[in-house]
Structure 1
């Protein structure tokens, strides 16, 4: 659309395609023209004024559409207008603002406020460009399907990554030293991805329970989409459980290694403790040390220490301590 960077308006043709509209054409749109989809990025300057002056959205729509949410929020206005707010979990905790998908939908119009590069926005827009997009009121289904498709691809990638970590753990490869760090990063990503799939499922299920007239034609699709989301959530639960088991195995191996090192240090200390006591006792700076005047006293002392160390080692071996 003219004058709005990264914003666009599409007029759906009812056959899976759409054509772009200019700002003036979007202003002159009428319900008889067909389904209109307007997308605005959240960084548009003075977004509330744009929604009011350009697209003529009343305050009861602008308020919920621009509000924040911590999970999923769905408001029904005038029994025919739907406001959907969905938080997109960010795996980058340093992000300044959390990403959200906000949408206002009616039987003939849809306004979305979200980053233009969000997967659902990009996917639905690409489908419309190739004539395989939604035909009208099924835009909400298209957004959910695009989100779940992206989640499915991401799940496959995470599954491959987790399988690689499991292989490294089982094969005890040399590059497995950084395995705990890689596993910690993967578990954090899995938790974020599972939360996203859970949010999509909750949003679809809540929409399917609404009594909005123009959504009744989508009941079957919404029910199927909810089942698909539930299946995706189960797959994510399985990945999270596998990562937890691998984490416990890695931790057990590291603990066992630490225990072996501490055990060997304890054995070595036990062997050298009597030897250190004898040498320390004979090393005091006092007169009258036995053998002081005899030249062979040092060799005799070394021999006694060697024999004592051998006896200690044999005693430990007999008790199967080493």
Structure 2
């Protein structure tokens, strides 16, 4: 079956046996906890979940829905949840998060996704090393924990980029930093927007009265939720630091511009009377003073120099520079 990505029968000792589709159809709850992992876009998946899974219509719609906003709810003793993880697939943007939908019962866990999750590979490797989950409760905790722990690298990258931008503002004050800051703020805001509902979903899971969930798993879920909250707070810090950096950069660039305009204004003020005098004596009419005197040009140059010196003295007295 093309839509069935993985099917594992857990032995309760940290290992699991991979099943084919024929074995899945013969499975009974007394055989042991079963994990079924599907690609929900496959027609075969849609047909099996709709016709053969025995699930409620609400659960079926959620497992096959394109809508993947993080959430959690109890339905007839089972847990229905949707969680998201950072997209670490090659060529993808981290803020373009990947989603996994879960239906968890005491003896069966069904997950669906469209894009590959690296977290699923971690669980399979744990099964192969006889260190995997022993039941559906632990498997749920493992999936949630792997999804959230992988966010740490992305959040740290955001913090490093923020620190680098803060240093660059002091060193370069370049206009190109504006686009870097805007991109960082956009990515942090988008990732933060996805993590807020996930935090609520995780809190809902750990507070629900789930009969088949062990107290130890609730403690692990609480630690995972705390880690998610720290990531959310770190993203808030990145966003605020980026906003402060953007404001600081704008102030520095505005100060640069004001300094340059001030210098240009001083230069213009110095040359304004010189331009007036040279223009006045450059008109082609009779009666220009000194027209017949052979040293008139040099006398006029000395006069202009005296005017400039006088202007500089006046500007310094007024503390204009």
TM-score by length of 1: 0.83
The reply to whether residue 133 of structure 1 matches residue 132 of structure 2 is yes
Structure 1: how far apart are the matches of 2:20 and 2:54? 16
8 Å CA contact 2:9, 2:16 repeated in 1: yes
8 Å CA contact 1:9, 1:22 repeated in 2: yes
**Are residues 284 and 89 of structure 1, via their aligned partners in 2, closer, same or farther at CA, if it must alter by over 3 Å?**
farther
Structure 1: how far apart are the matches of 2:95 and 2:188? 18
Structure 2: how far apart are the matches of 1:311 and 1:153? 64
8 Å CA contact 2:79, 2:104 repeated in 1: yes
Give unmatched runs, 5+ long, in structure 2.
none
Give how far 1:287 is off: 4.7
Give how far 1:227 is off: 2.6
The reply to whether residue 150 of structure 1 matches residue 150 of structure 2 is yes
8 Å CA contact 1:42, 1:115 repeated in 2: yes
Task: Give 3-state SS (helix, strand or coil) of 2:106's partner.
Answer: coil
Give how far 1:150 is off: 0.8
The farther-off stretch of 46-55 and 255-264 is 46-55
**Are residues 132 and 178 of structure 1, via their aligned partners in 2, closer, same or farther at CA, if it must alter by over 3 Å?**
farther
Give how far 1:108 is off: 1.4
Give how far 1:8 is off: 1.7
- Aligned counterpart, 1:163: 163
The reply to whether residue 81 of structure 1 matches residue 78 of structure 2 is yes
Structure 1: how far apart are the matches of 2:99 and 2:229? 21
Structure 1: how far apart are the matches of 2:106 and 2:259? 69
Structure 2: how far apart are the matches of 1:310 and 1:211? 88
Structure 2: how far apart are the matches of 1:164 and 1:192? 21
Structure 2: how far apart are the matches of 1:130 and 1:32? 24
Structure 1: how far apart are the matches of 2:166 and 2:153? 20
- Aligned counterpart, 2:122: 123
8 Å CA contact 2:68, 2:99 repeated in 1: no
Give unmatched runs, 5+ long, in structure 1.
none
Root mean square deviation, CA, Å: 3.1
